[in-house]
Chain A
C-alpha cells in the first residue's frame, strides 16, 4: 500500500496538469487532438476502480468484503469492426469494436482496503484470462454479455492460492457500466461480484 501511495505521489504533477487541462477543455470542446491531454485523461480514467464485493470465508464462517477492482484489456480482437478500423485494439479499446462482438484478454488487479477477516488472504490479488463479448441489443451499446475464464492469484501469509477462475458479465450504457460475476477455484474467496466501470 505504501508503494502505491508513493507511486501516486510521484505522479502528482502529471495528475494536476491533466486535471487543469481537462477543466479548461470542458468549457470549450477541443477541436484538435492534444496527444498529452488525450492519453493523460485516458490514463487517469483507467485508474477509476470498480467497486466489488469479495467472498470472505473459512471452514466455519463466511462474510463479504468490499474492495476495488481495475479492468485492463491488453488485447482485443473485434469480429465486427468495419473496413476502416483495425480489429485489433491494445489497452485503448474502442467501445463499439469491443461490444459489437470481440474476444479479448484481461488483467484485473483487486484491492481489499480493509483486508479479509475470516480467511488469511492478503489485500491484493489479481486474475488474468480471456473472455468473449457478445452484443445483445443495439450492437452491444444497450446490452452486451461476456463469458470468460482465466487464472487467478491470491496469497495468504503462508501459501499461494492460485487456480482457475470463471466469469460472466452484462454491460450497458455503451459498455461503460456493467456487472461481473466471478467464480474462483478456491473456497476461501469463491465468489466475487463487481460493478464494471471502464471508459475505453
Chain B
C-alpha cells in the first residue's frame, strides 16, 4: 500500500512541478483579488473615426483596437476582469465593450490564458457574425465553436525554419502569420511537455498600410531582420514584458524592453507601440516595471516621436485621411 501511495505522490509532484509557472502566476495574483481593478478615466466612446486612416487604441495587455481605413481589427481580446480565473486585472479594460465596433478581424496570437480569452471572443462574436477569428495552427484545440468565420493559419510547426507561415485575404485584409519565438499550450503540462505549437505573430496589410502584431515572442535578431526586409512595416505592436529585471535581455520566449526595442530596429518599423505590460501580475516586479525601463531606452535613443507609450484606454492616431 505504501508503494502505491509513493507512486501517486511522485506523479502528483511531477504534475505540480510541470505546472509550476501557472502556480507562480496564481500565487502572485492573490493580492489582486482583494482590490478592484483601477478605473480608466475618460474612456473613448467612439474609437473609429471617418477622418482617420491608421489608429491604435490600447485596451490593455496585448489587446489593441486598430483602425486601418474602414477596417477594424482587434488583437488578443482580453476584455474580462480575470484571465484564466487566477489572474485578475490591475487596471480595467481601456474601453467599454459596448463601444467596441463590430470587428473585421479578431487576431489570436497564441493559446495562453492572457491572450486567448474565450468569453471576450464571445462578446465580440455577438456584435457581428461576419467577423473573422484568425489563429495559428494547433490553437483549434483550445477554442470551441463560435458564430464567427474561423481561419487557421499555418505557422511552420512553431517556425522551426521559416519565418512566414502563410498569407490569406480575410474580409479584404491581407493577413500573414509570421515568426514568433514562444510556446503553445494552455493548461501547464500541454505547453511545457507536449510540444504544442499554437503561437504566431501577424502582419496585417490593408490599403498600403502594414501593421505588425508580435503577440508574445522571444528575440532572434536574424529572423526579425529578415522580417523587416520582407515587409515595410508602418506600425509595430511589440511586447515589452513580463520582466522583473527589465534592463536585462529577455528569455527564450519573452522579450524584455532592450530586446523589444531591438525588434523595432530590426524590422525597421516606422512607429512602435509597446504592449503586454501594466495589466496583469506575471513577474515578481510591478506590472508597470517594463515601461519604466522602456521609457529610458526610448529617451536614450531619442525615439520619443516614433515610439508611443500609451496609457490603457489611450488612442494614438498615426495617419489622417
A residues contacting B by CB (< 8 A) are: 1, 4-5, 8-9, 15, 19, 22-23, 25-26, 28-34, 37-38, 41, 44-45, 47-49, 78, 80-85, 94-97, 100-101, 113, 137-139, 141-142, 172-174, 176, 199-200
Contact = CB atoms under 8 A, between A and B. Distances in A.
Contacts of A94: 141-142
B51 interface: no
A83 B145 contact: yes
B14 A44 contact: yes
Interface stretch (B29-37, B190-198, B208-216, B276-284): B190-198
A23 B144 contact: no
Contact of B118 (A8, A31, A138, A176): A138
Contacts of B158: 31-32
Interface in B177-221: 183, 186-187, 189-197
A38 B142 CA distance: 17
B12 interface: yes
Nearest to B190: A200
8 contacts: A23-B14, A30-B193, A32-B158, A82-B140, A83-B150, A97-B144, A138-B117, A174-B186
A34 B195 contact: yes
Interface in B121-175: 122, 140-146, 150, 152, 157-158, 160
Interface stretch (B3-11, B62-70, B88-96, B259-267): B3-11
B192 A25 contact: yes
Contacts of A44: 11, 14
10 nearest A-B pairs in the assembled complex, by CB-CB distance:
A33-B195, A100-B144, A84-B140, A139-B118, A29-B183, A30-B195, A138-B119, A80-B144, A82-B145, A38-B194
Contacts, number: 132
B230 interface: no
A30 B192 contact: yes
Contacts of B308: none
A1 B15 contact: no
B14 A19 contact: yes
A88 B186 CA distance: 21
A97 B221 CA distance: 38
A164 B152 CA distance: 45
Given A26-B18, A85-B140, A48 B195 contact: no
B85 interface: yes
A123 B161 CA distance: 55
Nearest to A101: B144
A194 to B, nearest CB: 15
Contact of B150 (A1, A22, A47, A82): A82
A199 B187 contact: yes
B97 interface: no
B145 A80 contact: yes
Contacts of A49: 8
B194 A96 contact: no
A80 B18 CA distance: 29
A85 B186 CA distance: 17
A26 B196 CA distance: 14
A5 B6 CA distance: 11
B17 interface: yes
B253 interface: yes
Contacts of A96: 118, 141-144
A141 B118 CA distance: 8
Contacts of B191: 29
B85 A26 contact: no
Contacts of A199: 15, 187, 189
Contacts of B222: none
Most chain-A Cβ atoms within 10 A of its Cβ — which of B4, B122, B144, B187?
A: B144
A111 to B, nearest CB: 9
B188 to A, nearest CB: 8
Contacts of B189: 41, 45, 199
Contacts of B3: 5, 8-9
Contact of B144 (A38, A41, A81, A142): A81
A44 B14 CA distance: 10
Contacts of A83: 145, 150
B85 A173 contact: yes
B7 A31 contact: no
Given A81-B145, A94-B141, A31 B195 contact: yes
A170 to B, nearest CB: 14
A45 B15 contact: yes
A48 B142 contact: no
Contacts of A137: 119
A1 B1 CA distance: 8
